[in-house]
């Protein structure tokens, strides 16, 4: 049996909630795909901000406002470096991945769509990358086209290419499936779309916690992700958009700080990214995200990725050996996510019983009902790992699942 990473206790101590107990048992937190836990370094940075720097930004000439504005603007620079955006003004702070996708759908896609046009998605999309496009399609008379996947949970590249047509106006794809863990070959898919002059948006919510993301190398036109899925505060997301595209897009919302001049007859708007950040933004969220990125960079991405790869390999073997348990999603390229079904046991029952053991997993359709239909199930149980998880926690999960199986077997 593999032993835990000898450095892991130091990593775990950076996340205070991991020392909690649930139902009298040490917490085993395996719901990282829903939200990740928060490092003390980020918590301390937010405490510093609220205790000593709190003010509104870009409006005041007093000391605190200038301090807060500087921290917020530096956060944008940190995020641009993190995903290797060419320009910091290509980073728009939003409320989350969902708002980022809605922004692109409303401000970029909708004004150019005509009846009969097509939007290409994949069968493994999260609802956040389906519903906004459905709303637009209904308003504009546009057709949604869905690229299929194999039984292993891999996007079929040839079929994706066949789905591209002269009517395709935008492609919106997940970088990593939140259910299957599949890593899609996004650079290749972007190239295929761009060869036809079709722009591409990528949902990176499940990718940024697990993979190095370089938007210039990928070549996408838009990339969206959320802070809370990568150890940062909730209520804060990022939309990357290529500068030349953002500059041509109209505002998504109207309000303060996104304007140049307002009269009752006419309003002129600021350049991106401020054009898309109406009102008071999530200042503390952006500062917390920057602090988290700096913390993760200090830990070392290679160290974290190696730990997650070890966890995925071990969990796949141990859980796959349980009789009656079937793993859904066996792509060759995956992040540390294992979804499964257990014969005769509803996922919600599994999740509830595991909770009595202090084990947190996710059960249900995972905001991916079309994917559940493709898999032929109503839902799955999902164990999603982060670098702070351990081999011992996987053994606890496997032992608890065997008890669940025995309980329902009578």
Active site residues: 367
| Among candidate residues 222, 166, 223, the one with its CA nearest the CA of residue 196 | 166
168-174 and 118-122 beta bridge pairing = parallel
| Among candidate residues 2, 61, 6, 73, the one with its CA nearest the CA of residue 395 | 2
Q: How far apart are CA 44 and CA 81, in angstroms?
A: 22
**Cβ(384)–Cβ(30) below 8 Å:** yes
Q: Tokens at residue 321, please? A: 């050996």
SS3 assignment, position 112: helix
Those residues whose C-beta lies under 8 Å from the C-beta of residue 7, and which sit 6 or more positions away, are 303
- Tracing tokens 């917020």 back to the chain, one arrives at 72
SS3 assignment, position 100: helix
**Cβ(382)–Cβ(328) below 8 Å:** no
Q: How far apart are CA 162 and CA 70, in angstroms?
A: 48
The 8 Å CB, 24+ separation contacts for 242-247 are 242/90, 243/86, 243/87, 243/89, 243/90, 243/272, 245/108, 245/199, 245/221, 246/89, 246/90, 246/92, 246/272, 246/273, 246/275, 246/276, 247/271, 247/272
């Amino acid at each position: 049996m593999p032993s835990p990473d000898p450095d892991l206790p130091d990593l775990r101590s950076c996340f205070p909630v991991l020392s909690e107990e649930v139902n009298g048992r040490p917490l085993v937190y395996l719901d990282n795909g829903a939200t990740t836990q928060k490092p003390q370094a980020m918590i301390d940075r937010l405490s510093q901000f609220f205790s000593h720097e709190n003010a509104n930004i870009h409006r005041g000439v007093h000391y605190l406002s200038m301090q807060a504005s500087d921290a917020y603007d530096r956060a944008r620079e940190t995020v641009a470096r993190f995903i290797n955006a060419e320009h910091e003004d290509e980073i728009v702070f939003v409320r989350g991945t969902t708002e980022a996708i809605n922004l692109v759908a409303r401000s970029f896609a909708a004004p150019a769509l005509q009846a009969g046009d097509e939007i290409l998605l994949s069968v493994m999309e999260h609802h956040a990358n389906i519903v906004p496009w459905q709303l637009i399609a209904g308003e504009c008379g546009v057709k949604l086209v869905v690229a299929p996947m194999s039984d292993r949970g891999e996007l079929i590249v040839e079929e994706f290419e066949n789905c591209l047509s002269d009517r395709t106006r935008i492609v919106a794809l997940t970088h990593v499936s939140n259910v299957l863990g599949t890593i899609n070959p996004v650079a290749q898919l972007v190239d295929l779309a761009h060869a036809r002059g079709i722009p591409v948006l990528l949902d990176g919510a499940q990718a940024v916690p697990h993979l190095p993301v370089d938007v210039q190398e990928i070549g996408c036109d838009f990339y969206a992700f959320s802070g809370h899925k990568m150890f940062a505060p909730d209520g804060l997301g990022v939309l990357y958009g290529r500068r030349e595209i953002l500059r041509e897009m109209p505002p998504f919302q109207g309000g303060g700080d996104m304007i140049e001049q307002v009269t009752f007859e006419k309003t002129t708007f600021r350049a991106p990214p401020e054009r898309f950040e109406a009102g008071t933004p999530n200042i503390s969220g952006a500062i917390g995200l920057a602090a988290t990125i700096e913390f993760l960079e200090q830990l070392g991405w290679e160290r974290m990725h190696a730990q997650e790869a070890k966890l995925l390999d071990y969990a796949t073997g141990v859980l796959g050996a349980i009789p009656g348990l079937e793993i859904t999603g066996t792509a060759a390229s995956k992040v540390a996510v294992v979804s499964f079904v257990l014969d005769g046991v509803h996922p919600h029952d599994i999740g509830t019983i595991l909770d009595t053991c202090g084990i947190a997993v996710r059960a249900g359709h995972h905001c991916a009902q079309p994917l559940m239909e493709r898999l032929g199930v109503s839902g799955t149980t999902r164990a999603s790992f982060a670098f702070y998880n351990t081999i011992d926690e996987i053994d606890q999960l496997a032992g608890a699942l065997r008890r669940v199986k025995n309980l329902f077997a009578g």
